[in-house]
Amino acid sequence: MILVAGSANLDFVVQADHIPAPGETVLGREFKTFPGGKGANQAVACAKAGGMVTHMLLALGNDDFATPLESSLRGAGVQMHIVREPDHATGTAFICVSDSGENAITVAPGANACLRPVHLPPLDGFSHLLLQLETPLDTVCAYARAARKAGVVVVLNAAPSQVLAPELLSLVDILIVNEGELAVVSQCQGSVAECLERLQVPTVVVTLGESGCCARQQGVLHLQAAFAISPVDSTGAGDTFCGALSAALSLGHGMADALRYACAAGALACTRLGAQSSIPEATDVASLLVQQTDNNTPSRLAALRALCGLN
């Protein structure tokens, strides 16, 4: 079983020709609301794309925004441990999605900021604890400390990016970051390889967008090229990757196979609008893996090595 402890937001999404620059007003088109939040997205991905028994600890307000979040998690089969905060609104996110599939996101944490160390449920039976940074940092650290004491693997998606205390990093078994987050956490502006050298975490996974991903596990490097898709909306793709990767590792897959599975799940999440609404079923991920068996070609792996500064 996996326990995800983190945020849940109702996403307000508008499509537009492009993401506005500072001070620019852009005329949008379609507007919809979707269940989101990094924690909730990753929990749904663990259960839906990863096929893993998943629990989630989350904080919600006593308002209408909470209803679709609970419904989405319940529909994915996630068992919820809800901290109800009647004096705080449920978390929200405001997202602009461009026609090219890029997005810009502003989050109002609301009840997410009320998640405290005392709220962590017993960790008996859990193999992995999956955390993010949309809840208070001292709470994240306390959860990681408790998991380490209980012998539970600590997986941290260091997003949104911020400099992390050495104590927290010392409690993390698997760190998942994108290139920008890697630079912030490592406090290095060099190549991916140079940034990795700065981090003492046993396993660091770096997502590289449309190029794929790489991982350093106990000094061994793994590279995985991306899958070919036609992007619609990248919202939630990184969260889908995190959830699918954690599920695959919890099921006993090796890192190379887990990265391949997570890349396929993340790619499929880019083909539909929304965060949780775009997360694929495990059967869809398996189908893509069968359809694209040769994406790790020597030329693509060489390009990945160059991108990471490994040549």
Which domains, from first to last, does the chain contain?
Answer: 2-23+31-307 (3.40.1190.20)
The tokens describing 267, both together, are 């790619």
Rounded distance between C-alpha atoms, residue 44 and residue 138, angstroms: 25
- Distant-in-sequence, close-in-space partners of 290: CB < 8 Å, separation ≥ 6: none
Residue 104's pLDDT band (boundaries 50, 70, 90)? confident
pLDDT digits 0-9 by tens, 182-227? 999 999 999 999 999 999 999 999 999 989 999 999 989 999 998 9
Residue-averaged pLDDT of the chain: 94
Residue 8's pLDDT band (boundaries 50, 70, 90)? very high
pLDDT over threshold 80, residue 101: no
Q: To 10 degrees, the CA torsion angle through 100, 102, 104, 108?
A: 120
User: In the sheet that 128-131 helps form, which strands lie side by side, from edge to edge?
Assistant: 79-85, 54-61, 2-5, 128-131, 153-157, 174-178, 203-207, 212-217, 220-225
pLDDT over threshold 90, residue 51: yes
Residue 35's pLDDT band (boundaries 50, 70, 90)? very high
Q: How long a stretch of residues is the chain?
A: 311
Residue 229's pLDDT band (boundaries 50, 70, 90)? confident
The tokens describing 303, both together, are 């390009």
| CB-based burial, 101-127: b 16+ in 10 Å, e otherwise | bebebebebbbbbbbeeebbeebeebb
Rounded distance between C-alpha atoms, residue 147 and residue 122, angstroms: 10
Q: Look at residue 63 in the predicted model and tell me its pLDDT.
A: 94
pTM for this entry: 0.92
Residue 246's pLDDT band (boundaries 50, 70, 90)? very high
Q: Look at residue 257 in the predicted model and tell me its pLDDT.
A: 95
Active site residues: 239
Rounded distance between C-alpha atoms, residue 206 and residue 215, angstroms: 6
- Distant-in-sequence, close-in-space partners of 283: CB < 8 Å, separation ≥ 6: none
3-state class (DSSP) for residue 187: coil
pLDDT over threshold 90, residue 310: no
Is-contact 92 108, C-beta < 8 A?
Answer: yes
Q: What is residue 290's DSSP assignment? A: H
Is-contact 3 130, C-beta < 8 A?
Answer: yes
Q: Look at residue 232 in the predicted model and tell me its pLDDT.
A: 85
Which residue is it, tokens 């949309």?
134
Rounded distance between C-alpha atoms, residue 207 and residue 218, angstroms: 18
Rounded distance between C-alpha atoms, residue 105 and residue 95, angstroms: 5
Is-contact 276 40, C-beta < 8 A?
Answer: yes
Is-contact 172 201, C-beta < 8 A?
Answer: yes
Q: What is residue 113's DSSP assignment? A: G
Is-contact 13 74, C-beta < 8 A?
Answer: no
**pLDDT average, residue stretch 118-133:** 97
Among residues 33, 3, 158, 172, the alpha carbon closest in space to that of 94 is found at 33
Q: To 10 degrees, the CA torsion angle through 208, 77, 60, 176?
A: -20
